[in-house]
Chains A and B, each alone.
Chain A
């Protein structure tokens, strides 16, 4: 794992350039260009607000803001995973022609989506300000939660992208699982709406639920997140990262032949 991280560091310039390229490429030919970074989550959020806030009349203070707090990190996570799945298997052009540290590829996807997430944050704060939800001092733990999410996302992306080289079905499985995962994660609803009996199990067994509720804690409820579940996520992420690095290490030499 250390070797993996070291290599990633060695190739940080490449990672940076590729990320830059991805960001530029994403909306290159489109008229609105970079605005899509903001428009995408806004439109998605508007749809949810319409259904859950207006049609179903969610009984929550500033439901729009609540949605935003959970939805943005989720979009970061799910896009990283769904486009990260084919990060290696789609780059035949690179892998078979140049010696290339494959771990840069999923890392690039995660980095690109991270930047998109960070860029959409001002939108959230502006919305909060309009509604009167000013960030409190609790927001200082935000970088810690974000770091955890990056670790977790990176670990999963590594693993899925490596496995997807051999089992291409995985990218479709992942896309479908993400939809289910979205609904079992308290993004559209508060944890308090989950029946008491399942609440603990549902939240604690789902690292994304822990992360999302932590975001909600600092931005929406203005309190500190609970430490123990976050420690659990840390352990899970590090474990996953180690496992992914192990898979990578074992199989990276086959990537060029299999893609």
Chain B
């Protein structure tokens, strides 16, 4: 049985809704009454364009995508706040959604009163709420504040109250829009545990988040929305790594000046380029870099590596006639163009060009990556010792480092803490 079935759903918003919401013209009024379609020339914003998504019952599904991709609109369709412009949305079961902080909280009322009202809005009866009241209050950890008006609450307290209410109304489907991040570490873990409990109880959870590691570790399915469409659905790791790669690619294309090319003439471009990959600049016919691969410690190709793991950056090249003064340079960059690490075969004096096989792979092994969680770009160039570039690989490459440890900065060198007694001046 599927909990949520979305078929070819589109959602359009009238563009003029944003700058000038309310028209007072009588003709507009009559049109609205009759439900007439506006002239076609009017511009629309298509938040969702043909979404197909089936969420099986009892599955935890993470929805990822860039800002403005349509994630929130999709959630609002599922919760029934919006109706699809076309297509169908079928939801089997009672939905409890946590879309925004304090939906429907009345600022002048106490936490306790708001729990009552909010639970009733979410479909509980008074007696049911009364029966669970103390449980909800306890979960929210608001203590004596529960009798205070919620306008005096901090945003963390708001979150706790909202989450407590949403999870204590026994929904079949829980929909959460990344607000969990507002809570502190302790409540975050607690809410995680609560959701874990939901999972075990066989309930369906739909989670919209930017925390990719959450999706990877925690969801059974991931759906990637891009530009109002489902780009990929499936195994969270696969979807996330594909997503990371694409985002990194886009970021890097934005961050770097576009490669100097001739004037772009549409249609008559002599070298059509497959989408996603940049043309391989052929600087020197003697060497061509065909691609870059990342191999993890397990010997498998991967784009997502643990901080403590090893990484092999493999450069596949073709050099029909190996020649002297040839080396390879690898740079690891962070978003924003921060150079993390650059090295080359000259510096490490490892390569004797004469012994290069005509078709081969240059492998740079980092025994322990030691970078903090994030996305890293890799730039590879084959060059001379003086720095003349011979060849670059087609496309851009990036990998993702994940870690359970949340330190900041760039690297995580091997380290150790200790405490020792010190003999000070007496």
A→B interface (CB under 8 Å): 13-14, 17-18, 21, 24-25, 28-29, 93-100, 163, 166-169, 247, 250-251, 253, 256-258
Residues 99-112 of B, flagged 1 when their CB comes within 8 A of A and 0 if not, give 11011111011000
> Within 8 Å CB of A256, what residues of B?
76, 81-82
A98–B103 touching, CB < 8 Å = yes
CA–CA, A26 to B223, complex, Å?
A: 46
B23 sits at the interface (CB 8 A): yes
Q: How far is the CB of B37 from chain A (nearest CB, A)?
A: 13
Contact A14 B121 (CB under 8 A): yes
Given contacts A13-B125, A17-B120, A99-B81, contact A94 B104 (CB under 8 A): yes
Between A and B, 6 residue pairs with Cβ closer than 8 Å are A13-B125, A14-B121, A94-B103, A98-B79, A166-B32, A247-B33
A24 contacts across to B, CB distance below 8 A: 109
Q: In the complex, are the beta carbons of B106 and A21 less than 8 A apart?
A: yes
Smallest Cβ distance from B174 to chain A, in angstroms? 14
Chain A residues positioned under 8 Å from B117 (CB to CB): 17-18, 21
Q: Please name all residues of chain A whose beta carbon is closer than 8 Å to the beta carbon of B28 when the two chains form the complex.
A: 166
Chain B contacts with A in 53-102, Cβ cutoff 8 A = 76, 79-83, 95, 97, 99-100, 102
Q: Contacts of B13 on A, CB cut-off 8 Å?
A: 257
Min CB distance A256 to B, Å, is: 5
20 more CB-based (< 8 A) A-B contacts, given A25-B109, A93-B105: A13-B125, A21-B106, A25-B106, A25-B108, A93-B104, A95-B81, A96-B76, A96-B81, A97-B81, A97-B99, A97-B100, A98-B81, A98-B104, A99-B79, A99-B97, A166-B28, A167-B29, A168-B21, A169-B24, A258-B17
Q: How far is the CB of B116 from chain A (nearest CB, A)?
A: 7
State the main secondary structure of chain B at its contact with A. Answer: loop
Q: Is the CB of A21 within 8 A of B109?
A: yes
Please name all residues of chain A whose beta carbon is closer than 8 Å to the beta carbon of B76 when the two chains form the complex. Answer: 96, 256
A99 with B17, Cβ < 8 A, contacts A14-B121, A21-B109, A166-B29 known:
no
For residue A163, give the distance in angstroms from its CB to the closest CB of chain B. 8
User: Given the complex, which residues of B lie within 8 Å of A253, measured CB to CB?
Assistant: 82-83
- With most chain A CB atoms within 10 A of its CB, the pick from B22, B23, B80, B113 is B22
> How far does the Cβ of B128 sit from chain A's closest Cβ, in whole Å?
10
Please determine whether B106 and A257 come into contact, CB atoms closer than 8 angstroms.
no
Residues of A within 8 A of B100 (CB): 96-97
> Among the listed A14, A28, A97, which residue makes an inter-chain contact with B120, where contact means beta carbons less than 8 Å apart?
A14
B35 touches A (CB below 8 Å): yes
Interchain CB contact under 8 A, B122 and A98:
yes
B116 touches A97 (CB 8 A): no
B:106-144 near A, CB below 8 Å:
106, 108-109, 113, 116-117, 120-122, 125-126
Candidates B17, B33, B95, B116; contact of A17 at CB < 8 Å: B116
Say yes or no: A100 contacts B32, CB within 8 Å.
no
Closest to A166 in B: B32
Partner of A250, one of B17, B35, B79, B82: B35
Near A by CB (< 8 A), chain B positions 1-49 give 13, 17, 21-24, 28-29, 32-33, 35
Please give the distance in Å from A240's CB to the nearest CB on chain B: 14
Q: Interface size for chain B: under 10, 10 to 19, 20 to 34, or 35 or more residues? A: 35 or more
Interface of A is mostly: helix
A28 vs B3: C-alpha distance when bound (angstroms): 43
With the chains together, A96 CA to B97 CA distance in Å? Answer: 11
B121 touches A100 (CB 8 A): yes
Set of chain A residues within 8 Å of B116, measured between Cβ atoms: 17
- Give which listed residue, B35, B104, B120, contacts A13 with CB less than 8 A: B120
Q: Which residue of A lies closest to B96 (CB)?
A: A98
B23 CB → nearest A CB, Å: 7
Question: How many Å lie between the Cα of A14 and that of B103 in the bound state?
Answer: 15
Name the B residues within 8 Å of A96 (CB-CB): 76, 81, 100
The 8 closest A-B pairs by CB, nearest first: A97-B103, A253-B83, A99-B80, A94-B104, A168-B22, A169-B24, A256-B81, A17-B120
Q: For residue A10, which residue of chain B has the nearest CB?
A: B123
The minimal Cβ–Cβ distance linking B101 to chain A, given in whole angstroms, is 9
By beta carbon, the residue of chain A nearest B99 is A97
Q: Which residue of B lies closest to A100 (CB)?
A: B121
Q: A96-B81, A98-B79 are in contact. Are A258 and B106 (CB under 8 A)?
A: no
Shortest distance from the beta carbon of A104 to any chain B beta carbon, whole Å: 9
What's the nearest-Cβ distance from chain A to residue B269, in Å?
42
Closest to B21 in A: A258
- Taken together as a complex, chains A and B put the C-alpha atoms of A94 and B125 apart, in Å, by 18
Complex Cα distance, B106 from A28, in Å, reads 12
B145 to A: closest C-beta gap in Å: 18
CA A13 – CA B121 in complex, angstroms? 9
* B126 lies within 8 A of A17 (CB): yes
Residues of B near A13 (CB, < 8 A) are 120, 125-126
A17-B126, A93-B103, A251-B35 known; A167 and B82 CB under 8 Å? no
Distance between Cα atoms of A28 and B149 in the complex (Å)? 11
Q: CB distance B97 to A98 under 8 Å?
A: yes
Q: Contacts of A98 on B, CB cut-off 8 Å?
A: 79, 81, 97, 99, 103-104, 121-122
**Bound state CA distance, A25 and B97, in angstroms?**
26
Bound form: Cα–Cα A97–B176 in Å: 12
Q: Which residues in B have their C-beta under 8 angstroms from that of A169?
A: 22, 24
Contacts of B103 in A (CB 8 A): 93-94, 97-98
B13 and chain A: residue at smallest CB distance: A257
Q: Which residues of B contact A167 (CB under 8 A)?
A: 22-24, 29
A240 to B73, CA, bound (A): 34
Please, how many angstroms separate the alpha-carbon atoms of A95 and B105 in the complex? 12
A17 to B116, CA, bound (A): 8
Q: Which residue of A lies closest to B83 (CB)?
A: A253
Please indicate the chain A residues that have their CB under 8 angstroms from the CB of B33 in the complex. 247, 250
